[in-house]
């Protein structure tokens, strides 16, 4: 078998190239004369007096670049908000940077500019909305009752409690005046075209970036139920609790629901997702002679429980050739969660690799390689995209007197892997389609 590290690196590179935001727009949009075609949708540009571009997400700067290359001076104006250090040079569309995963004052200011453009659009205008992972944090318009500080505290509690993205975004939508279909309300009566790079399992439109341009079927009451489910009611600011309770009593307007006329001129298209990245990674593995299986693109749940399940699958492959025999490759995608209990440093991918190391520490008599990385290149509050392990990692850790359990219990996976030089460093990739997990043997 060829060097597994070399194969894994090629697989990662192919996966990231497949979901490159610039390429996705370039490949799926074209102009012939005045006819703009995006997938199966067509728009005659002569029908529109102005074209505005707005959006938010970690991958939106290259998306904006691609739109400028396509539409040029047909674009009247635009504002897109991205994570710090994720900007790209543009000529017409303004790229603003803001906080992620916790919104900051720049988030509020950037969103204000987005809303101003959306409201400016009239019935004979086109508004193109760019969305990608991170959009929920990077686009925010708050009701008067909730301060930015209170929202930040709420987001910190949500991100640490182990809730999945659908639960988190249900609450976010009901603390916002822009999420959950409410950007569509600002765009109406203009025509809307939302181009989406999905970072959510199953690509549910109401969840990706908290669904600012689609109908929302969640409610204030459901948001309160989620707070109770994770015992957060007494850990979030009083203003947030009161606002949600008022909404549940009908004293605050609900998010727009299906059937609302404001969605009649709104078009939402997914350009790329996690499965596309997995498929390109699998092509590389097969070309290198590996028996390859994409197991799922829907890994979700607590990292440490997932690690136990995956270890069982990997052990069966190593020892019994099931579901594939050596030389083999198993590929997974999705977005696990971590419940923070320690005060260490890391991200869900680094924690996944460390949990896998604990689960696989008895499998040292057979060669294997496992890695987990975030496709955006930044795993948690670190510069690493993820981490990798192989059959020699346990010995390396013991030689340095590193306790796997101690680092796991402190959620300190980053410092663990940094000491043995097994972090994956890609830098910001400009894309975001959840996580990629690869097992080679």
Mark whether 199 and 346 lie in a shared domain. no
- Contacts with 387 (C-beta within 8 Å, 6 or more apart), sequence order: 349, 350, 353, 354, 371, 372, 373, 413, 417, 422, 423, 424
Res 234: pLDDT = 87
Q: Is residue 226 a part of any domain in this protein?
A: no
Residue written as token pair 């991100």 = 159
Q: Is residue 149 a part of any domain in this protein?
A: no
Mark whether 201 and 63 lie in a shared domain. yes
CB 343 within 8 A of CB 411: yes
Res 233: pLDDT = 87
Residues of the chain under the 50 pLDDT cut: none
Helix axis angle, 303-320 to 348-359, nearest 10°: 50
Specify the CATH number for the domain of residue 87: 3.40.50.10180
Q: Is residue 373 a part of any domain in this protein?
A: yes
Of 418, 391, 395, 399, nearest to 407 by C-alpha is 418
Alpha helices in 174-298 (DSSP H): 182-187, 220-229, 238-248, 274-287
How many domains is the chain built from? 2
DSSP states of 37-86: EETTEEEEGGG-S-EEEEEESTTHHHHHHHHHHHHGGG--EEEEEEETT-
Specify the CATH number for the domain of residue 298: 3.40.1480.10
- Domain span at residue 393 reads 275-440
Half-sphere exposure of 62 (CA within 13 A, CB side): 22
Partner residues linked to 30 by β-bridges = 37
Mark whether 370 and 263 lie in a shared domain. no
Res 19: pLDDT = 98
Tens digits of residue pLDDT in 16-39: 999 999 999 999 999 999 999 999
Residue ending a domain, choose from 205, 240, 272? 272
DSSP states of 326-348: SSEEEEEEE--B----S-----H
Q: Is residue 229 a part of any domain in this protein?
A: no
Res 2: pLDDT = 63
- Contacts with 409 (C-beta within 8 Å, 6 or more apart), sequence order: 341, 342
Mark whether 329 and 431 lie in a shared domain. yes
Q: Is residue 7 a part of any domain in this protein?
A: no
Residue 9's alpha-carbon distances to 4, 6, 388, 405, in angstroms, are: 8, 5, 11, 28
Q: Is residue 431 a part of any domain in this protein?
A: yes
The structure's pTM equals: 0.92
Mark whether 381 and 267 lie in a shared domain. no
Mark whether 310 and 187 lie in a shared domain. no
Mark whether 262 and 298 lie in a shared domain. no
Tens digits of residue pLDDT in 36-54: 999 999 999 999 999 999 9
């Amino acid at each position: 078998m060829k060097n597994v590290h070399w194969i894994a690196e090629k697989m990662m590179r192919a996966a990231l190239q497949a979901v490159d935001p610039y390429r996705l727009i370039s490949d799926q949009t074209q102009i012939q004369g005045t006819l703009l075609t995006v997938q199966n949708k067509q728009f005659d540009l002569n029908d529109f007096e102005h074209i505005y571009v707005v959006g938010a997400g970690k991958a939106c700067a290259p998306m904006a670049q691609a739109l400028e290359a396509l539409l040029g001076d047909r674009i009247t104006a635009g504002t897109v908000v991205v994570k710090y250090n994720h900007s790209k040079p543009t000529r017409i569309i303004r790229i603003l940077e803001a906080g992620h995963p916790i919104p900051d004052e720049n988030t509020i200011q950037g969103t204000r500019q987005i809303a101003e453009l959306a409201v400016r659009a009239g019935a004979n205008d086109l508004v193109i909305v760019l969305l990608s992972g991170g959009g929920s944090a990077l686009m925010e318009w708050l009701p008067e009752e909730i301060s930015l500080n209170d929202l930040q505290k709420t987001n910190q509690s949500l991100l640490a409690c182990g809730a999945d993205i659908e639960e988190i975004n249900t609450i976010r939508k009901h603390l916002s005046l822009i999420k959950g279909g409410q950007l569509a309300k600002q765009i109406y009566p203009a025509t809307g075209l939302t181009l989406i790079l999905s970072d959510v399992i199953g690509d549910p439109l109401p969840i990706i970036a908290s669904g600012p341009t689609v109908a929302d079927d969640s409610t204030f009451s459901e948001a309160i139920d989620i707070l109770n489910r994770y015992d957060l009611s007494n850990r979030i600011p009083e203003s947030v609790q009161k606002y949600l309770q008022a909404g549940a009593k009908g004293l605050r307007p609900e998010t727009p629901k299906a059937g609302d006329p404001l969605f009649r001129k709104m078009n939402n298209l997914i350009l790329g997702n996690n499965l596309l990245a997995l498929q390109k990674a699998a092509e590389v593995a097969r070309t290198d002679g590996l028996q390859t299986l994409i197991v799922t693109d829907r890994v979700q749940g607590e990292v440490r429980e997932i690690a136990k399940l995956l270890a069982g699958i990997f052990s069966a492959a190593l020892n019994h050739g099931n579901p594939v025999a050596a030389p083999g490759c198993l590929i997974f995608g999705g977005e696990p969660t971590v419940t923070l209990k320690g005060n260490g440093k890391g991200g869900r991918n680094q924690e996944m690799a460390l949990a896998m190391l604990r689960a696989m520490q008895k499998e040292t008599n057979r060669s294997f390689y496992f890695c987990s990385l975030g496709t955006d290149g930044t795993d948690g509050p670190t510069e690493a995209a993820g981490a990798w392990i192989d059959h020699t990692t346990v010995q390396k850790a013991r030689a340095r007197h590193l306790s796997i359990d101690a680092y796991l219990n402190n959620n300190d996976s980053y410092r663990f892997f940094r000491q043995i030089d097994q972090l994956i460093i890609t830098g910001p990739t400009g894309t975001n389609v959840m996580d990629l997990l690869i097992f080679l043997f």
